[in-house]
Structure 1
């Protein structure tokens, strides 16, 4: 008979937590009696409010949807990052962002951890654009002192929208 390794854990025990493994949860949709939910698409949503799962970037942001409006015309749909964690995360990890991100109470952004270039517009207290710049990945620009809000979008978006310094950008919540 072969002797067991004394450092090897028994089957069904988690190697790092030293407790019994739980069986995998089934696919559930949020209901009145369930505490942990998972979107029907799978892999998206919150798990007991602790950590966010990868998936649709709009769903991962803890924010509301809005429209960017300049000069009476709608530029794009946007996501407003209200919480500190959402502002800190920003667009990091997005391969091809399909939305604009509004960062209120912010005067400086960076592109460390980004996979693509960004267009960044800095807005003052009157929502007037004071500076527009394109950030390549892994860059640390200087803070803009007058800025109170920052709008991030995919590189080339501001040229398509015709957004320039001096424009007034309104963020209309839906």
Structure 2
């Protein structure tokens, strides 16, 4: 299957869709334990999305806003999308290798839905 993809902390772009329907969204990449643990905690808003990798679950304890959460498999195919209010614990997804977080409502606008495949562009791979 090839080498497992690993991203370092940094920035990139989330690319969703194809052709004229292609959407490019600013992306923060949280690849270290410390960055994944902090995630979106303490923020009132997020510009774009955050990729937590590797990850198969999230929580919204101490969050100030509701968020959309998309669980991605190793091929970056969306296997589940949920909106989570603050103070919630998400169940781990067995096939999930990465989790995308964004402000509530953003995923639907971007076309992130079950079965969609996303790309991570301009991110540093290690």
TM-score of the two chains, using structure 2 as the length reference: 0.84
**Is 1:94 the equivalent of 2:43?**
yes
Q: How many residues align?
A: 113
Aligned to 1:139: 88
**Is 1:65 the equivalent of 2:65?**
no
With 114-123 and 155-164 compared, the bigger mean Cα shift is at: 155-164
Runs of 5+ unmatched residues, structure 2: 1-7
Task: Name which of 9, 18, 24 aligns with 1:75.
Answer: 24
Matches within 5 A, 1:42-57: none
Aligned to 1:173: 122
- 1:114 & 1:70 partners in 2: Cα distance? 26
Deviation, structure 1 residue 76: 0.8
Deviation, structure 1 residue 164: 0.7
- 2:116 & 2:108 partners in 1: Cα distance? 13
- 2:31 & 2:110 partners in 1: Cα distance? 24
Question: Which has a greater percent of strand?
Answer: 2
Deviations 1:95-128 (A, max 9, x none): 1222310011100100001000000000001110
Runs of 5+ unmatched residues, structure 1: 1-61
- 2:31 & 2:113 partners in 1: Cα distance? 25
Contact conserved, 2:62 with 2:86, CA < 8 A, in 1?
A: yes
Query: RMSD between aligned alpha carbons?
Result: 1.3
